[in-house]
């Protein structure tokens, strides 16, 4: 399934956690403050290849190029991920600010992810949006 992202020929939308999101996940895994990318990588890699692949595939929606414009019209949508689970989209609008797009996390132990950067790689079959948390599968 990871090959879906490597050739660029298939439509897909990826939700990309920031480095800070991975550091927070690593801190939660280790119980210690993780400040470096290298330590975050070690902690996450320690979950095992199958688990890391499952987590990464949860961040990819195959078959759809979802732009920010489309996302703002998708409140309540359920997106089937390459991992097989469905993510729910929530769009909220405060009176004085721009609309906010949130992806509901499936795990009961982590927070929902807010889209903080949109339309990365726009104009191609594959698009990405930066998010502020790592999404976790139900099993984690």
Tell me the per-residue pLDDT of 105-121, one tens digit each, with 9 for 90 and over: 777 767 899 999 999 98
- For residue 72, give the H/E element and its range: none
Is the CB of residue 81 less than 8 Å from the CB of residue 59?
yes
Given a cut of 90, is residue 140 above it in pLDDT?
A: no
Q: What is residue 43's predicted lDDT score, i.e. its pLDDT?
A: 92
CB 33 within 8 A of CB 27: yes
Phi, psi of 89 (to 5 degrees): -100, 135
Phi and psi at residue 90, to the nearest 5°: -125, 125
Q: How high is the pLDDT of residue 132? A: 96
- For the segment 44-69, the average pLDDT, to the nearest whole number, is 91
CA gyration radius, the chain: 15
Q: How many CB atoms lie within 10 A of CB 127?
A: 22
Token representation of residue 1: 């399934």
Give me the pLDDT at residue 116, please: 95
CA-based end-to-end distance of the chain:
20
Name the more confident of 25 and 98: 25
Note whether 42 and 96 are within 8 A (CB). Answer: no
3-class secondary-structure state, position 78: strand
| Confidence at residue 93, expressed as pLDDT on a 0 to 100 scale | 81
pLDDT (0 to 100) of residue 12: 92
């Amino acid at each position: 399934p990871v090959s879906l992202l490597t050739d660029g020929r298939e439509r897909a939308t990826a939700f990309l956690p920031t480095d800070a999101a991975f550091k927070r996940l690593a801190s939660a895994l280790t119980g210690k403050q993780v400040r470096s990318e290298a330590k975050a990588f070690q902690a996450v890699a320690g979950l095992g290849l199958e688990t890391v692949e499952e987590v990464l595939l949860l961040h990819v929606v195959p078959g759809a190029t979802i732009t920010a414009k489309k996302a703002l019209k998708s409140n309540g949508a359920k997106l089937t991920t390459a991992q097989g689970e469905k993510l729910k989209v929530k769009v909220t609008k405060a009176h004085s600010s721009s609309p906010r797009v949130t992806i509901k996390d499936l795990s009961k132990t982590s927070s929902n992810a807010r889209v903080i950067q949109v339309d990365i790689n726009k104009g191609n079959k594959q698009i990405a949006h930066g998010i502020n948390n790592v999404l976790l599968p139900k099993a984690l």
